[in-house]
Chain A
Amino acid sequence: DIVMTQTPLSLSVTPGQPASISCKSSQSLLHSDGKTYLYWYLQKPGQSPQLLIYEVSRRFSGAPDRFSGSGSETDFTLEISRVEAEDVGFYYCMQGIRLPRTFGPGTRVDIK
Chain B
Amino acid sequence: EMQLVESGGGLVQPGRSLRLSCTASGFTFGDFAMSWVRQAPGKGLEWVGFIKSEAYGGTTEYAASVKGRFSISRDDSKSIVYLQMSSLKIDDTALYYCHREPSIWGLGTMVTVSS
Contacts and interface: CB of A to CB of B under 8 A. Distances in A.
A92 B45 contact: yes
A101 B50 contact: yes
Given A48-B106, A48-B108, A101-B50, A96 B45 contact: no
A31 B61 CA distance: 20
B45 A99 contact: no
B71 interface: no
Given A100-B63, A101-B35, A49 B46 contact: no
A50 interface: yes
A105 interface: yes
A24 to B, nearest CB: 16
Interface residues of A, number: 22
A39 B102 contact: yes
A99 B63 CA distance: 9
Contacts of A41: 45
Nearest to A40: B102
B112 to A, nearest CB: 18
A31 to B, nearest CB: 14
Given A48-B107, A101-B35, A103-B45, A96 B102 contact: yes
Given A90-B44, A105-B44, A99 B50 contact: yes
Contacts of B107: 48
Given A103-B44, A105-B44, 14 more contacts: A1-B64, A39-B102, A48-B107, A50-B105, A54-B103, A90-B44, A92-B44, A94-B45, A94-B102, A100-B47, A100-B61, A100-B64, A101-B47, A103-B46
